[in-house]
A = this chain, B = another copy of it.
């Protein structure tokens, strides 16, 4: 079954917003076994939208639109859909009642325009919107059996409606037997081609499950997707392949699916009942901000000092002045003193010190922008790392933060 996604909206055409609906739908549809071969974006213009929907219906079995279900005159997607399928529109009392209730519950005054959202193509299946006022519709062309599905534009409304209503509809309508499941192994520390080489045998021989590498924010994700008669059977296929791949790259895998590096670090700290404190210089609080993105991180983070200046490094973290004088603020010894000092002053089991040159200024002949030292002091003693990171100031901050969290993860694994 071939699907075409049609995104509507002038903001998209003008480049004012980024289209996240199309990749969301494409990824989910592929998991279900549908082929998304075309994605088109068109504005809120009747003639052009009609042209796009007609072209889409010629080359696809299912057309899914997003946007243009709102209450304004510019919201025309349902009308154009009805037009293309030669259907008229009618007033759907049940949807009108739901819209009235939505406004009443929120004590917002409803304008009559909002009832435009209750106008529906004849014979359409109405799909409830649990997060907003615009219902979606599924309209079938009786002669060809092809289908147009209209979904709302706001991403959280679209994703909720797709997952709760459209997926079950598609499964039933197309008699999709079995299940397609996937699992993502999240890795850090190995480049794309090096990682590919390690698991090349499985990439070349893939059929079911399939394997895909995906680079994202300094991480590389290995996605395993399997289809089988049941979810259990698909999961078993995934688990089998994972069991073969994992030994080849185990030291680089830090998490599964939605598990971030900071989640992984947090779980290890909880499991080992250890606390941490940080002294951050070049990362400026970014590492701690990531650590505190995890709910419950107060159970293992005692605190952090962001110590840009030498004065604060000495007075608040306890770095000896003679080390700063002899080695400089960006040095292995200073990172180690920061780790040790923050651990002692903030009464934690583990201390982390991070110092470097984020740029664009601050470089010297022997210390370039991107030079970073990370030290960890804890039950297994003190360890230190030197890195050279590329990129601009925020790139260096982000790469340093990810490296620091990964060093901490590896430290926790050996104690």
Q: Bin the interface of chain A by size.
A: 35 or more
**Which partner residue on chain B sits nearest A284 by CB separation?**
B292
Contact A13 B40 (CB under 8 A): no
Contact of A37 among B13, B27, B36, B346 (CB under 8 A): B13
**Which partner residue on chain B sits nearest A43 by CB separation?**
B37
- How far apart sit A309 and B301, CA to CA, in the bound complex (Å)? 8
Residues of B contacting A303 in the complex (Cβ-Cβ under 8 angstroms): 305-309, 312, 316
Contact of A40 among B20, B39, B301 (CB under 8 A): B39
Residues of B contacting A287 in the complex (Cβ-Cβ under 8 angstroms): 285
Does A390 make an interface contact (CB < 8 A)?
Answer: no
Given A38-B42, A39-B13 in contact, is the A289-B286 Cβ separation under 8 Å? yes
- How far apart sit A316 and B45, CA to CA, in the bound complex (Å)? 61
Given A12-B39, A23-B16, A346-B312 in contact, is the A304-B302 Cβ separation under 8 Å? no
Instruction: Looking at the assembled complex, report how far the CB atom of A159 sits from the nearest CB atom of chain B, in whole angstroms.
Output: 12
Does A145 make an interface contact (CB < 8 A)?
Answer: no
Contact A311 B347 (CB under 8 A): yes
Contact B312 A308 (CB under 8 A): no
Spell out A's residues near B (CB within 8 Å): 12-20, 22-30, 36-43, 45, 48, 51-52, 55, 59, 212, 214, 278, 280, 283-289, 291-293, 295-298, 301-309, 311-312, 316, 345-347, 358-361, 393-394, 397
Q: Which of A17, A45, A305 has the largest number of chain B CB atoms within 10 A? A: A305
Instruction: Looking at the assembled complex, report how far the CB atom of A225 sits from the nearest CB atom of chain B, in whole angstroms.
Output: 10
Residues of B contacting A288 in the complex (Cβ-Cβ under 8 angstroms): 284-285, 306
**Which partner residue on chain B sits nearest A221 by CB separation?**
B16
Contact B38 A359 (CB under 8 A): no
Q: Which of A15, A28, A359 has the largest number of chain B CB atoms within 10 A? A: A15
- How far apart sit A39 and B13, CA to CA, in the bound complex (Å)? 7
Given A20-B18, A304-B285 in contact, is the A26-B38 Cβ separation under 8 Å? no
Contact of A289 among B18, B22, B29, B289 (CB under 8 A): B289
Residues of B contacting A37 in the complex (Cβ-Cβ under 8 angstroms): 13, 42-43, 45, 48
Contact of A311 among B26, B278, B302, B358 (CB under 8 A): B302
Contact A393 B295 (CB under 8 A): yes
Contact B15 A22 (CB under 8 A): yes
- How far apart sit A293 and B393, CA to CA, in the bound complex (Å)? 7
- How far apart sit A39 and B212, CA to CA, in the bound complex (Å)? 27
Residues of B contacting A283 in the complex (Cβ-Cβ under 8 angstroms): 289, 292
- How far apart sit A261 and B312, CA to CA, in the bound complex (Å)? 25
Residues of B contacting A295 in the complex (Cβ-Cβ under 8 angstroms): 359-361, 393
Contact B293 A302 (CB under 8 A): no
